[in-house]
Structure 1
Amino acid sequence: MEADSRPDEFDPFEAAIDDALNSLPHGLREAINNVEIVVEDEPPYGQPLLGLYRGVPLPRRSSNYGGVLPDKISIYRGPLTRLARGDADRLHREVKHVTLHEIAHHFGISDERLIELDRY
């Protein structure tokens, strides 16, 4: 994971992302393949997003998959910070939720299926 912070400073985004990853069962953590998680300030202009997965979900990868750039999960600092309104616990919960949501997309789980599972 990369973030826009200095290594010696506590970053609540990094902490929440690490917590999200550590909350996954070992087998799922091991299955996350060729993914970079980054914290960015804002989503692309005009897109009201908290996070975004860009890449090829695991179920769509063929046996020829290789030699490609990593998939990318972007977690957007600005919208999440505004959503939390200064509440550090809420910020942690929201960042963790968004991270898990975007990881679900890496595993090929659609927004529709996440809604069905009450995990949207």
Structure 2
Amino acid sequence: MHVDDEEFESAVHDALAGLPERFLKALDNIVITVADEPDEGQLARGASATGELLGLYEGIPLPRRSWGYAGALPDVITIFKGAHERVCHSREQLIRQIRRTVLHELGHYFGFDDDYLHRHGY
């Protein structure tokens, strides 16, 4: 399933816009980006059991931030377009998976691990 960059980025934006206000207000010092593919370092940090890295959170989760966090570079969530296109077979499936990936990576930002997120459908 292939979509142009603008449509993919729009789906990521829509997933964020659909968050409840209380979660949007809690987003602090974080950047959400889109990349075609992960680089080697990102692949190493975000190894996936499926062989595809759909997204990656890099940073210090909210519950682990302390007084020493002040002045830190922003945390980064990267959503990978190529992997989404390879695992999705329809536009509807792609939109659902992008939303799921965005929510999964935001879950890491809020301090949840993969086991917890997967048990809850993310």
Common fold, TM-score beyond 0.5? yes
Within-5 A mapping of 1:1-120:
11-45=6-40, 47=47, 48-85=52-89, 87-117=90-120, 119-120=121-122
Report % sequence identity.
44
Structure 2 unaligned runs (5+)?
none
CA distance in 2: counterparts of 1:39 and 1:95, whole angstroms: 11
RMSD: 1.8
One-letter amino acid of the counterpart of residue 12, structure 1? E
Alpha-carbon distance between aligned partners in 2 of 1:98 and 1:13, rounded to the nearest angstrom? 13
Stretches of structure 1 that go unaligned for 5 or more consecutive residues are 6-10
Which whole-Å CA distance do the structure 1 matches of 2:68 and 2:101 have between them? Answer: 30
Question: How far apart are 1:84 and its partner, in Å?
Answer: 1.6
Matches of 1:93 and 1:12 in 2, distance apart?
14
Q: Deviations over 1:62-109 (max 9, x none)?
A: 023211111000100111011123x21111111111011101100001
| Higher helix fraction (1 or 2) | 2
Question: Which amino acid is 1:90 matched to?
Answer: Q
TM-score under structure 2 normalisation?
0.81
CA offsets, 1:34-75, max 9 Å, x none? 111111111234543110000000000002321111100010
The number of residue pairs the alignment matches comes to 110
| Higher mean C-alpha displacement, 44-53 vs 98-107 | 44-53
Q: Secondary structure at the match of 1:52?
A: strand
